[in-house]
Amino acid sequence: MGDFGWDDGGLVGGRQGAAISMPNLLLLLKFEVAIRFESLNAMSVPIRHHFVPRFVLRKFKGESGRIFYVRKSDYRVRDTASTKKILQVEELYTTVAPDGTKDHTLEGFWGKIETSSGAVLARIESQLERNGSLSVSRDDASIVRDFLLMQFKRNPTYYDNMFPPAEVRRLYLESLEEIEIEIGRTISRVDVDRFFAPKRLGRNLSNARVGAMSMVSSELHAAFFNKGLAFAYIRRLPKSFVVGDYPFACLAASGLAIPNSEHWIVVSPRFAVTPYGSRD
């Protein structure tokens, strides 16, 4: 497998050097395009894809070695010794082609970022814990920015709310004439019903979500990587952060209106990080 990184257009494979581009939603749905530029061996990628890194979740284990959590479905408090089955969705970042072939590239990319950023963030937190002074190299700062960009983009709820099935159906039906011109034939009612069969629609929406997660516009990339970094460390016990399925601490002098609020990504009960100010 080649090396991966962000380029102006999106995720780039080191060997092929071709960015993943995100077709517009209609084209993706019409032709059921799966993102394919370098497949990972299915055996090398876990089935459970965490949208909050496990290195973050492990920091929230108590002295007993267990982590307590609450599900929104029933608000019952549970505890577990393993982070394997919490804040994850099976094959969340996998694309599936019409023939059933699976591509795990994005999960492999996220995994590489988690491995490098976990070590860097642990070093930074250790510095703050020991003496409060901080020295972050340019390379380490770049790795932290990769982590922040990953976390801002990877939460599934954001994408699911953008394109609920009812809205996708409305857009599709409104665009039938345009679609028929592009594909050169009339779309029958049977074809429409087949397209919106739950399994097929779910696959198409999942592929669209993964495509959107894989893409970074040149404007966003430049703006994000020209920001500086700010780190927060809580010293006064028993105050602490908590972490959830959307792992941000929203802080503001008054209210949470964007752009006045700051969105900090929680890394541990005492430690959080955010883009801030200027890189220089």
- Read off the pLDDT of residues 32-59 as tens digits, 9 standing for 90 and up: 333 333 444 444 667 899 999 999 999 9
What sections of the chain are H helices per DSSP? 25-31, 54-58, 105-130, 138-153, 156-162, 165-174, 176-183, 189-195, 198-214, 218-225
User: 131 in helix, strand or coil?
Assistant: coil
207 residue type, one letter = N
Tokens 């393993």 sit on residue: 82
Is the pLDDT confidence value at 25 over 50? Answer: no
pTM, two decimals, is 0.73
More confident residue, 17 or 261: 261
For range 116-127, the mean pLDDT: 94
Q: Which two tokens stand for residue 122?
A: 């642990």
What average pLDDT does the chain have? Answer: 76
Q: What percent of the chain has pLDDT over 70?
A: 78
**In whole angstroms, what is the distance from residue 108 CA to residue 114 CA?**
10
Q: Which two tokens stand for residue 156?
A: 């599934």
Chain-centre distance for alpha carbon 189: 36
Q: pLDDT at position 7, please?
A: 39
Q: pLDDT at position 266, please?
A: 92
Closest CA to 182 of 35, 37, 29, 36: 29
- Read off the pLDDT of residues 179-228 as tens digits, 9 standing for 90 and up: 888 888 888 888 888 877 888 877 877 888 888 788 777 887 788 788 88
Q: Which two tokens stand for residue 25?
A: 């939603």
Q: pLDDT at position 270, please?
A: 92
